[in-house]
Amino acid sequence: MSYLSKDSPGEVNLLMGNEAIARGAIEAGVAFASAYPGNPSSEIITVLGSLAQELGIYVEWSTNEKVAVEAAAGASYAGLRSICAMKQNGLNVASDFISNAVLTGVGPGGMVLIVADDPGGISSSNEEDTRYFSRLLEIPLLEPAGFQEAKDMTAFAFKLSEETGLIVMIRSVTRISHGRGNVVYSKIEKGNKKARFDTGRTVLAFPVPWTHKILHDKMAVIKDKFEESDFNRYEGPKGADLVVVTSGAAYLYTKEALGLLGLSDRVGVLKLGTTFPLPEDFITRGLKGAKKVLVAEEVIPFLEASVKEAYANHVKDLGVIEFYGKASGHIPRENELSPDIMAQAIAGLTGTGYVPVDPAYQAEIRGLSLPNSPYRALTFCAGCPHRATYWDLKKALKLDGRDGFIVGDIGCYTIGLGPQGYSMLRTTHAMGSGSGLATGLGQLKTFGLDQPVLAVSGDSTFYHSVIPALINAAHHESNFTMVVLDNSTTAMTGAQPHSGSDTGAMGIPAHGLSIEKICESLGAKVRVLDPFDVDKSVQSIYDTIQDDEGIKVIIMRQECCLYRLKKDEKRYLMKIDETRCLGDACGCNRLCTRVFKCPGIIWDRAGKVARIDEVICNGCGVCTDICPEGAIIREVNHEA
Amino acid sequence: MKHNGAALAHDPTNIIIAGVGGQGNIMASQLLGKLLVTKGFEVIIGETYGASQRGGSVMSHLRVAGKGGISPIIPKGKAHYIIALEPAEALRVMGEYGNPDVRVLSNTRPIYPVDVSTGALDYPDLDNLKKIITDHAKETFFVDATDIALRVKTPILANIIMLGAFAQWGVVPLSVDEFKEAIRQSVPEKHLKKNIEAFEEGMRALAAS
Ligand code: SF4
Ligand code: SF4
């Protein structure tokens, strides 16, 4: 039994925020869970999947977020409690379904939607603030301000969903989802595990104004519940001059900042956990007597706008209040907040100062730290097949000489935008966007576009959203080459299985779908290559792009080295023959280190030779083929 | 909150575990955090990793409190202890979170940023790096954790060796036996012996320095 599935009310455990959410779902008797992986949300489903058999629940990694949310809603219609998790970008994909489901309502089983945002874009291509979706689509919104709340809100959200028939959304952020903190357990409810679709009910959104009115009536009921919710509270002195209104992780930073400044008994904190629909009466009571209000939140001024709106509605009770926050420039509009940002903002408004460390020490250590801790650029792991793929593509495009180019999307291979992938990648947007762009670019021959067009995607992305673009391309006979970088996992987010894998989230056999068969069925010409076989790959890519009729698919197949290494040892033991290494005199000026750039090979300035770093090298053996002098020697590792 | 009688030298105590993606930072911070929770403390760990498996800096903020009021981010200049699995990372963290009273425990083995391995940048001179760290901390220990780990051909054990050194240091209210028990609980049976040995090597390395 895992520490996450123990029915031990009162026990305290250190849980990751995502584990706390999973535990909340378990305590609520969840029966069905689905998601497409995306950081910082992925661990929720990983955890539930690993416990699925023990708990008798169903868990899947769905093909994409829209399918995931629909699958979870299906279970809800059959009376099961269901949960669906995604990162901020995922909600864009899933929102089409949700915008209808708010009018139809979900089923008798509650349905909870977890969206983990990533302020600062720590592991994302944007820092989209999904809280506006709650207003746009009209979904009740909860924002946990800690690990305990992450669990408790999840369990509460199921109840609220069942009472109202609406999807309830919880918005987490990276610092909550990926942080860890103490969580006190509650009892595990059994929950309904008997599924039945009620054929007496038709799920429909018509007539729209009528169902929309029902939604608004439900929202009014929910607002009344939120007015009484324990997730909202006022902390600090009564009638404080300055009140900080805050939610989510910003609450934790605010509390810490007040502690640092010694102002906990002078400044009030209005902590909100239910942020749509807004509990206006509760807020009005909390702001009574305040002269200044600072709204603290991350990214978009969502709360700031709502609280000002509430103030406008209650201005007679509240008198003149000055508002500070993003509009006034006291809180930044980009990136995460921190205790320091909050301390400076509050210090500014209270006329106190905040000096965290002796400024002379700080100036000195910063001055020394900067030049002596060299920047660590993101790179592919040593032995990553993507580095080899970009190398192969680079050589093939050079051989071709028609200024061919590559468009792409997000995943580990996005590193191809920078020097670590030889700057081969030209664009990156959403999941599968490279294939979509390429279907358009592949139609431009009549407008004079004579460059070879290539798109890259990962294997997981292929199933997620490349397939519709390929169908479009096949139907309209667009001319481009789709390169699928198949490393047999969803590497970027921690190696989750995908629709091509032969096991699923629950660790039991799944039907893995073949990328080549799917592509062949669309009439594409398909080649499967091993990127580590450099010469063959370069030639095949070159041959493929000479053919300028219709869609061509190249599958570059080689396992992600990070996850392969967890299973076995290095494939090759590498060494450098120093007598053969030409060093600076090497044809292309240190081809292996300066140009190929695998971090497993290092340039020894003093000795003027390349060396293998045995701690970093993962033994893929590719660099042997790169070195024109044959100085990099590989020996098969017999321990592997 | 009860703390089974043990006391914290600082409340909150702020520990930063720094390293490079793949060095086993998170494993170390989690093991330490879980242990402190069983002792009745309130713990928050903030992890900064993002896409850092791929060569970036990784940092865990481990915070231990008797009376709460902590967030997942340590305020600038407020670290009490820095455990660095890589020496340049120790200094990087000091630049942001250091103060004249900070105490540092650092591995000596560099991991080259890709711009260093390609020859575009230089890695700082190691002796100078150690001197800067020592001069700006109240107490400093250097342990050759990776080199010790390489002797048993398992460089990944450097984090457990560092944990052993940390246990020997004795700055958190946890006994050596409690550390060992935590390792037992979080390491698979077949790797256990190597891990416990590595832990003990780390203890000896600190005692000898
Ligand atoms: S064998 Fe060469 S290319 Fe492969 S990981 Fe080692 S150094 Fe890098
Ligand atoms: S995690 Fe896998 S796919 Fe990603 S950079 Fe590392 S080896 Fe490459």
Here the tokens at position A611 are 């060396």
Return the DSSP state at A246: E
The CATH class that applies to domain A233-350 reads alpha beta
The partner residue sitting opposite B91, judged by closest CB among A12, A123, A373, is A373
Q: Say if ligand 1 is within 6 A of residue A441 CB.
A: no
Q: Judge: B116–A249 Cβ closer than 8 Å, yes or no.
A: no
Q: Binning pLDDT at 50, 70 and 90, where does residue B2 land?
A: very low
Q: Is residue B116 part of a domain?
A: no
Q: What's residue B53's pLDDT?
A: 61
Question: How far is the centre of ligand 1, averaged over its atoms, from the C-alpha of A124 (Å)?
Answer: 28
- Give the C-alpha separation, A69 to A560, whole Å: 28
Whether residue B94 lies within 8 A of chain A, CB to CB, comes out as: yes
Element (H, E) at A133: helix A131-137
| Candidates 3.40.50.11540, 3.20.20.150, 3.40.50.1980, 3.40.50.970; CATH matching A385-566 | 3.40.50.970
Question: How far is the centre of ligand 2, averaged over its atoms, from the C-alpha of B50 (Å)?
Answer: 13
For residue B97, the chain A residues in CB contact (below 8 A) are none
Q: What's residue A161's pLDDT?
A: 98
Biggest CA-to-CA distance, chain A: 86
- C-alpha pair distances (Å), B139 with each of A271, A456, B106: 40, 51, 11
Query: A307 to chain B, minimum CA–CA distance in Å?
Result: 24
Q: Judge: B114–A412 Cβ closer than 8 Å, yes or no.
A: no
Whether residue B87 lies within 8 A of chain A, CB to CB, comes out as: no
Give the mean pLDDT of chain A.
95
Provide the 10 A C-beta neighbour count for residue A11: 12
Whether residue B34 lies within 8 A of chain A, CB to CB, comes out as: yes
pLDDT in tens, A519-576: 999 999 999 999 999 999 999 999 999 998 888 999 999 999 887 766 667 889 999 9
Residue of B nearest to A258 (CA): B69
Lowest mean pLDDT among A206-220, A231-245, A603-617: A603-617
Q: Count how many pairs of residues, chain A against chain B, have C-beta atoms within 8 Å.
A: 190
Q: Is residue B43 part of a domain?
A: yes
**pLDDT of B1 strictly over 90:** no
pLDDT in tens, B83-140: 999 999 999 999 999 999 999 999 999 999 999 988 888 999 999 999 999 999 999 9
CATH architecture of A12-227: 3-Layer(aba) Sandwich (3.40)
Q: Is residue B183 part of a domain?
A: yes
Q: Binning pLDDT at 50, 70 and 90, where does residue A640 land?
A: low
Q: Judge: B72–A249 Cβ closer than 8 Å, yes or no.
A: yes
Q: Is residue B23 part of a domain?
A: yes
- Give the C-alpha separation, A39 to A23, whole Å: 19
For residue B57, the chain A residues in CB contact (below 8 A) are 376
Q: Judge: B100–A590 Cβ closer than 8 Å, yes or no.
A: no
**pLDDT of A60 strictly over 90:** yes
Q: What's residue B51's pLDDT?
A: 58
Question: Fold match between A12-227 and A233-350?
Answer: yes
- CATH T-level assignment (fold) for domain A568-636: Alpha-Beta Plaits (3.30.70)
The partner residue sitting opposite A377, judged by closest CB among B55, B111, B129, is B55
Q: Judge: B55–A256 Cβ closer than 8 Å, yes or no.
A: no
Phi, psi of B196 (to 5 degrees): -65, -40
Query: What is the four-CA torsion angle of B199, B201, B202, B208, rounded to 10 degrees?
Result: 150
- What burial class does residue B153 get, using C-beta atoms within 10 Å of its C-beta: 0-12 exposed, 13-18 middle, 19+ buried? exposed
Closest Cα to atom 6, ligand 1: which residue? A617
Q: How many domains does chain B have?
A: 1
For every residue of A594-634, DSSP letters joined together read III--TTEEEETTTTEEEE-TTT-----HHHHH-TT--EEE
Give the three-state DSSP class for A375: coil
Q: Say if ligand 1 is within 6 A of residue A383 CB.
A: yes
Q: Is residue B173 part of a domain?
A: yes
* Average pLDDT for A86-97: 98
Q: Is residue B197 part of a domain?
A: yes
With the most atoms of ligand 2 within 8 angstroms of its CB, the residue from A457, A560, A571, A597 to mutate is A560
For every residue of A64-120, DSSP letters joined together read SHHHHHHHHHHHHHTT--EEEEEEHHHHHHHHHHHHHHHHH---SS-EEEEEEE-TT
pLDDT in tens, A164-175: 999 999 999 999
The partner residue sitting opposite B118, judged by closest CB among A249, A562, A597, is A597
Question: How far is the centre of ligand 1, averaged over its atoms, from the C-alpha of A600 (Å)?
Answer: 5
Q: Is residue B135 part of a domain?
A: yes
The partner residue sitting opposite B46, judged by closest CB among A179, A356, A615, is A179
Q: Is residue B117 part of a domain?
A: no
Q: Judge: A599–B34 Cβ closer than 8 Å, yes or no.
A: no
* Average pLDDT for A181-199: 97
Residue B146: domain span = 2-109+122-208
Pick among B23, B61, B73 to test the A interface (most A CBs inside 10 A): B73
pLDDT in tens, B137-160: 999 999 999 999 998 778 889 999
The answer to whether A280 touches A256, Cβ cutoff 8 Å, is no
The answer to whether the pTM exceeds 0.90 is: yes
- The CATH number linked to B142 is 3.40.920.10
Domain ranges for chain A: 12-227, 233-350, 385-566, 568-636
For every residue of A146-162, DSSP letters joined together read SHHHHHHHHHHHHHHHH
* Average pLDDT for A483-506: 91
Give the mean pLDDT of chain B.
91
